[in-house]
Amino acid sequence: MRAEGERTAVVEAARRMVDSGLVINTSGNVSVRVGGTIAITPSRVPYETMTPADVCLVDIASGEQADGALLPSSELPLHLAVYGATDAGAVVHTHSHFATVLSTLVDRLPAIHYQVADLGGEVEVAPYATFGTDELARVTTRALAGRNAALMRNHGVTAIGPDILRALARAFTVEWIASVYWHARVLGTPTLLDGAEIERVAARQADFASRRKGRKP
């Protein structure tokens, strides 16, 4: 089977999404870059029974299916647009609870916690567009410019990363920060971090990452 490792990783990530409550039923979708193609979850297949063979391979440039018998996710246009506009190695799209709630109330998820730095700063909310459309792909990709995650109005979250684990981790981060912000707003007016502090945090995160890479086992 082509790209067996990547297809297996897609299934594992999809199951983590549903097990953790980031999605319900068959909502949400996951993909990973495999050279000039992507491995993406199929449409309307329960994550509990999904197998690596169910995962579809789609050519990034043409959008044509390269392997797999099932229909790719309805959000294929979104995934293809993100890969075309960024160097992302993986894309995770969720309908997580607090992030979706806030997508109906705010224009951006503010810097209430320093971990927002890993998302590229405040998370923008893309305007609403019908699911599975080129318009949704366009507005979400625009909201991702310079960022690693975006909220989607009345819809959910899209997070990206160099690999599927990092993209999934960022989807978790968005939901956690959204939960913190929601609860803080219920209790009062939360303090927020300014752009200068987020830049300092991002610099420290980058420094620690480079030091980890430089360490010998």
Tokens describing residue 155: 């819809």
Q: Which of 68, 83, 168 is nearest to 118 (CA)?
A: 168
- Specify the 3-state DSSP secondary structure of 192: coil
* DSSP β-bridge partners for residue 209: none
Tokens of 152: 């989607």
Catalytic residue among 4, 48, 64, 75: 75
SS3 state of residue 135: helix
199 is catalytic: no
DSSP assignment letter at 42: B
User: Does residue 117 contact residue 91 with C-beta atoms inside 8 Å?
Assistant: no
Cite the active site residues. Answer: 75
